[in-house]
Amino acid sequence: MGLRARITRPGIAARLLAWYSDHHRDLPWRRTSDPYRVWISEVMLQQTRAQAVIPYYERFVAQFPTLESLAGAREEQALAAWSGLGYYSRARNLLKAARLAVAAGGFPSDYDAIRGLPGVGDYTAAAVSSIAFGLPCAAVDGNALRVVSRVKNDASDIGSMATRRRFAETVTGWLDQRRPGDFNQALMELGATICLPRQPLCDECPIRDGCLAATAGSAAGLPVKLRKEDPLHIRATLFVVRRRGRVLLIREDSGARRMAGFWRLPTTEDLPGATPRERLGEFRHSITRHRYLFEVYASSGGLPACPAPTSAAAGACAWFSPAELPTIPLATTARKALNLAGIPRSS
Ligand code: SF4
């Protein structure tokens, strides 16, 4: 006889909900059903772990406590509040979406209108719809896909749209229609804390009885994701140039594909005449398939003529004091390099 799930679909939902009510982490966005705050948290969580999101979320909603306050912000303020979280198109889209929602009379309350906001995909729309409005939408993120692949012991490639659609239908079948928000969060929580990518903690899992991969001993090898492209390894140099207690930064102009409006450290292309004085260290940084190894040098010479520090100097360079750094959108690479140079942002 082949392997069969030993608990029923309603059983999976009931067990997940009971486990979630006893074991869920106390995260700040779980203390509210305000759609604005749920939306901010879900966008932040799109590419970042929950523990890392907490301080950013708290700072962001303290600075922009309502949809209207965010809609009234300048882009540079929103980017500065987002600094360090990466994937900055998320912050730009938040701002655009807030302005559209305010113009339309407030945060939308149905799935299609939420899905229509800039930067909101199927997952985020379903998460906000279910958590903030109790709509019966299954939110399927990477955690949920992993749990489904294991419960079903299904080795299909989760990079394929057909597989994702099929797995999403499974989650829809499991969904508790009366408590969709809790159910979605329970499934994500299981993936984030128990059904871990490399070493699932099956002995602590509330749905182990129904999990075919746990029975077959194949859980650690699931889900399967076929590799499409090899990573590109790139070495680059960043210069930390100081003058009278200030540090030189370059602003990405508005035509830059990534990071437009952000301040970064100069490279050898920016300062071809620079003389590396002291090697401060190195760090690694990944953007999609690009794997950078940045070497950081204190430098002098080859300096461009820079205006007085002003974040309005588009496409320019400028000198900033450590106290000014928290007020500008600062590239993550600059933050890492300035830490190596002993120049942390001073708040
Ligand atoms: S039993 Fe193990 S593999 Fe199956 S869902 Fe639970 S943690 Fe994941």
Whether residue 169 lies in the annotated active site: no
Which residue's alpha carbon is nearest to atom 8 within ligand 1? 195
Q: Structure pTM?
A: 0.75
What domain range includes position 93? 9-221
CB crowding 161-188: b at 16 or more within 10 Å, else e: eebbeebbebbeebbbeebbbbbbbbbb
Taking the centre of ligand 1 as the mean of its atom positions, its distance from the CA of residue 51, in whole angstroms, is 22
Among 221, 252, 281, give the residue marking a domain's end: 221
- Where helices occur in the chain by DSSP H, the ranges are 9-23, 35-44, 50-63, 67-71, 75-82, 89-103, 111-115, 122-133, 142-151, 161-174, 180-193, 212-216, 332-340
Residue 49: give its domain's CATH number: 1.10.340.30
Q: State the closest ligand 1 atom to the C-alpha of 204, by its place in the atom list counted from 1.
A: 7
pLDDT band at 303 (very low <50, low <70, confident <90, very high): low
**Residue after which a domain boundary falls, among 191, 221, 251:** 221
Average confidence (pLDDT) over 66-89: 93
pLDDT tens per residue across span 141-186: 999 999 999 999 999 999 999 999 999 999 999 999 999 999 999 9
Domain count, the chain: 2
Hey, whose CA ends up nearest to atom 1 of ligand 1? 208
Residues 204 and 63 in one domain: yes
Q: Whose CA is nearest to atom 2 of ligand 1?
A: 202
Query: Distance from the CA of 207 to the center of ligand 1, in angstroms?
Result: 7
Share of the chain above pLDDT 90, in %: 73
Residue 271's CATH number: 3.90.79.10
96 pLDDT band, cuts 50/70/90, is very high
Q: How far apart are CA 204 and CA 217, in angstroms?
A: 15
Long-range own/partner contacts, residues 158-166 (CB < 8 A, 24 or more apart): 158/223, 158/224, 158/225, 159/225, 159/226, 159/228, 164/140
The average confidence (pLDDT) of the chain is 89
Contact of 260 with 280, CB cutoff 8 Å:
no
Atom of ligand 1 nearest to the CA of 200: 7
45 and 142 together in one domain: yes
- Cα–ligand 1 centroid distance for 211 (angstroms): 6
Residue 65, domain member (yes or no): yes
Among the candidates 198, 221, 244, a domain finishes at 221
**How many C-alpha atoms does 197 have within 13 Å on its Cβ side?**
4
**Is residue 4's pLDDT more than 70?**
no
Q: Is the domain of 250 the same as that of 205? A: no
pLDDT of residue 189: 95
Smallest Cα–Cα separation from 127: which of 86, 182, 85?
182
Query: Using CA atoms, how far apart are residues 298 and 274, in angstroms rounded to an integer?
Result: 10
Residues 325 and 212 in one domain: no
4 falls within a domain: no
Pocket of ligand 1 (CB under 6 A): 147, 150-151, 194-195, 200-202, 205, 207-208, 211, 213-214, 219
Q: Is the same domain home to 304 and 217?
A: no
- Report the phi/psi class of residue 244: left, alpha or beta, with left for phi > 0 and alpha for psi in -120 to 50: left
Supply the pLDDT for residue 150: 98
Quote the CA–CA distance of 72 and 99 in Å, as a whole number.
8
Question: Quick one: which atom of ligand 1 is closest to the CA of 146?
Answer: 8
| Greatest Cα-to-Cα distance within the chain, rounded to the nearest angstrom | 78
Whether residues 169 and 272 share a domain: the answer is no
